[in-house]
Structure 1
Amino acid sequence: MDALETRELRYFMAVAEELHFGRAAERLGMTQPPLSRAIRQLERRLGVTLLRRNRRGVSLTGAGEVLLHEGRAALDATTAAVRRTRRAGGADGPGAPRSRLVLAVKAAASHELLQKLLDAYAAEPGAAEIEVLPCGLCDQEELLRDGRADVALMHAPFNTLAGFDSEALLTEGQSAVLPAGHPLAARKSLSLAEVSDIPGLPLARWPRHGTYAPGPGPEIRDQTQLAQLIALGRTVAVYPDSACSWLWAEHTAVPLTDAPPVVTHIAWPAHSRSLALAALIRTATQL
């Protein structure tokens, strides 16, 4: 029998991530003996050893490493299916609410394009309710994979489109956002090399996958913090041209001559069969 129960996967994932039966049992809200029995039963059913147990603790075998990776993807897919099904349901009877789509967007990015898309789609007959979910630099990918979002505006080369279907909507250049009083703010254009080596004005650093790249620049947590630090003359940032709509009077955007173009894509899970999502994609590509 090749089928696995979601419960079995959750049990195994807890042990595989904690590498300790006691901590895994506490995390699952159960006692250790039934958890140990469940893992042994899972190993017998699969015919492989998933965990090495000895006096020093617990470690994963090669088969366990595979199940950890594949199991995490399977649980994410299950969670995503539940979330999307609940959002799509409830439209089968009189007075039932409209189906709903969650659109993940990076804060301040592609604002004009987003507004045009929302207005055009809202005018479509039977349009679903759109919830706009602002997120961090590269959070769209995770939100799509775990079902918290149905569709996202993503930006190459910053976001990876692997595993998603997508359509390109907009290609644009990038600009350096500087304190308005800085001497370089009077320039007509700058190069990436000039921006990356401004004395006393290091590049801001955004987190990617939970960590910050090394460097002297400040670690940025949100748009407001970045805006304030640029205005105070503490940092400089590089942004797609369309994202510069949030600038304060204390900021100046200077075009970059050699920055790679940024392509805004509308992206969605490759397996999606949502009619509401298909209508939104169609509207986006017609803009």
Structure 2
Amino acid sequence: METRELRYFVAVAEELHFGRAAQRLGIAQPPLSRAIRQLERRLGAALLERTSRAVTLTDAGVVLLEEGRAALDAVEAAERRVRRAALAATGQAGVVLVAKAGAAGELLARLLDAYAAEPDAVTVDVLLCGIGEQERLLRDGRADVALLHRPFDTTAGLDTEELRTEGQVVILPAGHPLTRRTHVRMAEVADLPGLPLPRWPGPGGAYPDGPGPQVRDHAQLLQLIALGRACAILPESSRAHLGDALAAVPVLDAPAVTTVIAWPPHSRSRAVAGLVRTATCL
């Protein structure tokens, strides 16, 4: 299959309309229809059911849509990495490090300061993202290295080094009765009246979804807790970002959180290697 054909098919499969797909691709409809028919002949499978009123996906089409999206994402990621590698070879590129906004702030600051003191240090561009986005930005080539947090982030297929492991705390509004306790357990937090656990963005993952409001980022989450609309279980280091309106109580049976520095296994960047080396020496 050609990349062009995959792009054509994904556009039709997402729009379920040849006219709209052709407009989205910036081509005429007849060559688009011919390309899809040629793809079906090459694969020996019908991908679309066409009637005068609708276009629907066959079972084979559903599979190709999923696989095609992944393949196109991989091609785009490869293009980004190649461009960055070419720039790095000429000394024109630094390192892009992605981290979740509001998480591991003290560790990130120490890492940047320590790396900047290295004689062969390059510029580190820090990309702060929303909850659970670091892994995707690293895998699609928009970042060279990331700070990830197991078990919440998946590190399968990535090279990693562990930096620290810590327990978790429940973040509550200041003055809540539980804040007078020295510790709590998960079962006590899971069903607090009026303070539900939040719903996290994105599908799946190890974040325990609750019935509360959906959150996009760390700042929004802390504001909701201060307003008495939610509570959350977060790593112990989150204490550093709490103001007077919030309090933290250790959760004895919450899983430990390990912060890792991660990078693609095929990376040959000396700058990435230097940054990782610095991180492991903190």
TM-score scaled to structure 1, two decimals? 0.87
Q: Which of these residues, 102, 108, 119, is aligned with residue 114 of structure 1?
A: 108
Number of aligned positions between the proteins: 281
The 1:68/1:238 distance shift into structure 2, 3 A limit, reads same
From 48, 53, 57, the equivalent of 2:54 is 57
1:87 pairs with 2:105? no
Contact kept in structure 2, 1:83 and 1:148, CA below 8 Å: yes
Work out the CA distance in 1 between the residues paired with 2:220 and 2:89: 45
1:160 aligned residue: 154
Residue 243 of structure 2 corresponds to residue 248 of structure 1? yes
Q: Distance in 2 between matches of 1:268 and 1:90?
A: 18
Identity %: 64
- The offset of 1:39, in angstroms, is 1.6
Q: Determine whether 1:30 maps to 2:27.
A: yes
1:197 & 1:71 partners in 2: Cα distance? 42
Change (3 A) 1:85 1:122: farther
- Match 2:40 to one of 43, 60, 73: 43
1:234 aligns with 2:229: yes
How far 1:176 moved relative to its partner?
0.8
Residues 1:148 and 2:142 aligned together: yes
In 1, the alpha carbon distance for the partners of 2:255 and 2:215 equals 22
Counterpart amino acid of residue 113 in structure 1: L
Give the letter aligned to residue 267 of structure 1.
A
User: Which of 176, 180, 183 lines up with 1:186 in the alignment?
Assistant: 180
From 233, 240, 263, the counterpart of 1:268: 263
Output the amino acid matched with 1:175.
Answer: V
Query: Counterparts of 2:2 and 2:175 in 1: how far apart (Å)?
Result: 62
Amino acid across the alignment from 2:260? H
* AA matched with 1:233: G
2:132 is matched with which residue?
Answer: 138
Match of 1:206 in 2: 200
Return the letter of the residue paired with 1:217: G
Partners of 1:136 and 1:39 lie apart in 2 by 37
Contact 1:76–1:145 (8 Å) recurs in 2: no
1:246 offset after TM fit, Å?
Answer: 1.1
Amino acid in structure 2 at the alignment position of 1:67: L
- What SS class does the counterpart of residue 243 from structure 1 fall into? helix
User: Which one-letter code corresponds to 2:216 in the other structure?
Assistant: R
Instruction: For residues 98-127 of structure 1, give each alpha carbon's deviation from its aligned partner in whole angstroms, at most 9, with x where no partner exists.
Output: x22221111111122212221222222332
Instruction: Say which of 165, 169, 172 aligns to 1:171.
Output: 165
